């Protein structure tokens, strides 16, 4: 993969080896879709990305990355 940027390499790779900065995510299946979600507490999670879903799901504002959803146990 080629990555083109005007940023210095030190900024791009800053913290790449720091495990504390790595997000802890889980994959959940809801409504027939597979989502990568970052748990935030109280049974809620923040959507990181859609992994396996129909194409029209990308147009649903409720499934935008960063939105909170209820995580089923």
Domain boundaries along the sequence of the chain? 21-70
Residue 19: per-residue pLDDT: 66
Name every residue whose Cβ is closer than 8 Å to that of residue 19 and which is 6 or more positions away in sequence. none
Give mean pLDDT, residues 30-53.
92
Q: Which residue's entry shows tokens 């390499």?
A: 9
- Quick one: CA dihedral 34, 40, 44, 47, positive or negative? negative
Residue 41's pLDDT band, with cuts at 50, 70 and 90, is: confident
Q: Which residue's entry shows tokens 């923040």?
A: 46
Q: Residue 68: is its pLDDT beyond 90?
A: yes
Residue 24's pLDDT band, with cuts at 50, 70 and 90, is: confident
Name every residue whose Cβ is closer than 8 Å to that of residue 36 and which is 6 or more positions away in sequence. 25, 26, 27, 47, 48, 49, 50, 51
**Which residue, among 23, 24, 27, has the nearest Cα to 52 in the 3D structure?**
27
């Amino acid at each position: 993969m080629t990555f083109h940027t005007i940023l210095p390499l030190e900024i791009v790779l800053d913290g790449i080896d720091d495990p504390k900065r790595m997000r802890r995510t889980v994959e959940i299946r809801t409504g027939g879709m597979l989502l990568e979600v970052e748990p935030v507490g109280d049974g809620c999670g923040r959507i990181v990305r859609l992994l396996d879903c129909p194409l029209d799901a990308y147009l649903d504002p409720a499934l935008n990355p960063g939105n909170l959803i209820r995580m089923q146990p």
